[in-house]
Amino acid sequence: MAQVVDQWTVRNPDGGRRLRGPRWGKGNRWLARWDEGGKRVSKSFANKDAALAHLEDVGSGTRAGTHITKERAALTIGDMWVLWSAMKSGTSKSTRAGYESAWRRIEPRWKDVPCGDVERADAVAWLNELTTTKGCKPGESKPLGGSSKRTTGIVLRALLDLAVDHKAVPANPMKRGDLPAAPETPRRYLSVGEVDGLLAAMPDEPCRLVVRTLVLTGLRPGECFGLQVQDLDARRGRIRVERAVDDKGTVGDVKTHQHREVPVGGGLLDDLTLAAGGRRRTAPLLRTSAGLSWTRNRWRPLWAKHGIDGLDTYELRHTAASWAIHAGANVKTVQTMLGHRTAAITLDIYSHLWDDELDAMPARLDAHMKSERERFRQRRQQSDSRGGNVQVTAV
């Protein structure tokens, strides 16, 4: 039964007015008591009206299913991280590393804060003021990059979403619009001439084979380094993509957990077939000149020395996408090739490349009409030479 108790006074044995008790003047005077899940809980208030109003809120919230119990209200952001990170154990290693990096920024400020005490204004201000010492002189710092801020905000907001699910807060104080906007990342698409120059700059054939594989298949670097001999189907001209290698060479699943096949042909298929010849099925398809498995840690120094200034290896994937689009590939084909979870993701990244193709449409239509007219002319000539009477309609 819910009740409000006066903690400063005690009952008068004579039945008269209540008397001052040993707690007179100490702490809040009024104590609201109620039951939660069979347990007696309480909260103190400075005045009786506030205590009664709280009991009213508890009662109406309990009936509506929105009441936050005292036990749930004690759950902290750190408690939510333990639950949330366990839920993400199935994500790729690189994705988990990004979440853990975000948590290392969140932890000092929010780990021990009850979820219900997180104020929207405080969270947004903290997020906008994040800094990093990476790349700075000792004792100096600089604003954290927009992408890292956004990831940190996404994780904090996800923890508060989970707090709502666990009835630790009635609603998430952070709104989607509170997250820093995803920064526009400039992408560089190499021309055939630039790729040829890059290949010429590579120190040896194994490095050139990596570059050719990346730029002609659109694989992520980790996926490329994770290829095994058994992944190459030379007869069908396909590469099976079902694993990725991290910086240290640890093998994990691909980013989206969706395995795929990508086409490969021409000289690249010939050279990959040669590289795979006579080797065990689980051996790495691509190897260094020393016969070692490729990892990003082994690749980066070579790329830094022989690659194009300001160009990240990942941008060879963008080049592959642009070449495929200019060759006439549709959205679904490029999505499958790149391993995007949805075609919408592909369009978000590369839609402007399809827009560029609009400029070529008039010339293509004109060429198509000329081709069709020539075909009809040849058919008419063949018909006339046979003395036939074939009806041919020109375009």
CATH code of the domain in which 320 resides = 1.10.443.10
Within this chain, do residues 255 and 231 fall inside the same structural domain, yes or no?
yes
Residue 365 placed within a domain: no
Within this chain, do residues 58 and 122 fall inside the same structural domain, yes or no?
no
Helix residue spans in the chain (DSSP H) = 48-64, 70-73, 77-87, 93-110, 120-128, 146-165, 192-201, 205-217, 221-225, 266-276, 296-306, 315-326, 331-338, 343-357, 361-385
Residue 383 placed within a domain: no
Q: What is the CATH number of the domain that holds 130?
A: 1.10.150
Within this chain, do residues 146 and 61 fall inside the same structural domain, yes or no?
no
Within this chain, do residues 168 and 88 fall inside the same structural domain, yes or no?
yes
**Is the Cβ–Cβ distance between 162 and 83 less than 8 Å?**
yes
Instruction: Please tell me the distance from the alpha carbon of residue 106 to that of residue 153, in angstroms, as a whole number.
Output: 9
The domain total for the chain is: 3
Within this chain, do residues 25 and 157 fall inside the same structural domain, yes or no?
no
Of 128 and 257, more confident: 128
Instruction: Please tell me the distance from the alpha carbon of residue 332 to that of residue 320, in angstroms, as a whole number.
Output: 15
Residue 390 placed within a domain: no
Within this chain, do residues 62 and 105 fall inside the same structural domain, yes or no?
no
pLDDT per residue as tens digits for the range 272-287: 999 999 999 999 999 9
Exposed, middle or buried: residue 137 (CB in 10 Å: 0-12, 13-18, 19+)? exposed
Within this chain, do residues 335 and 316 fall inside the same structural domain, yes or no?
yes
Longest dimension (CA), the chain: 132
Percent of the chain whose pLDDT exceeds 70: 97
| Amino acid 392: pLDDT | 46
Is the full-model pTM beyond 0.85? no
Instruction: Please tell me the distance from the alpha carbon of residue 335 to that of residue 343, in angstroms, as a whole number.
Output: 6
User: Of 123, 186, 131, 132, which Cα lies nearest the Cα of 156?
Assistant: 123
pLDDT per residue as tens digits for the range 131-186: 998 878 888 899 998 889 999 999 999 999 999 999 899 899 999 889 888 777 77
Last residue of a domain, which of 325, 341, 357?
A: 341
Within this chain, do residues 102 and 146 fall inside the same structural domain, yes or no?
yes
Residue 322 placed within a domain: yes
| Amino acid 378: pLDDT | 87
Total residues found in the chain within this entry: 395
274: Cα separation from own chain's centroid: 36
| Amino acid 29: pLDDT | 95
User: Of 197, 210, 191, 201, which Cα lies nearest the Cα of 319?
Assistant: 191
Residue 238 placed within a domain: yes
Residue 158 placed within a domain: yes
Residue 40's SS3 state is strand
172-181, 197-206, 365-374: which range is least confident on average? 365-374
| Amino acid 387: pLDDT | 66
Average pLDDT over residues 342-361: 84
Within this chain, do residues 221 and 139 fall inside the same structural domain, yes or no?
no
Q: What is the DSSP string of 200-244?
A: HHSSSHHHHHHHHHHHHH---HHHHHT-BGGGEETTTTEEEE--E
Average pLDDT over residues 71-99: 90
For the cut 60, the answer to whether the pLDDT of residue 390 exceeds it is no
Residue 377 placed within a domain: no
Provide the domain limits for residue 289: 192-341
Instruction: Please tell me the distance from the alpha carbon of residue 87 to that of residue 83, in angstroms, as a whole number.
Output: 6
Within this chain, do residues 287 and 161 fall inside the same structural domain, yes or no?
no
Within this chain, do residues 337 and 198 fall inside the same structural domain, yes or no?
yes
Within this chain, do residues 324 and 295 fall inside the same structural domain, yes or no?
yes
Rama region for 393: left / alpha / beta (φ>0; ψ in -120 to 50; rest): beta
Beta bridge partners of 10: 19
Of 336 and 92, more confident: 336
Residue 372 placed within a domain: no
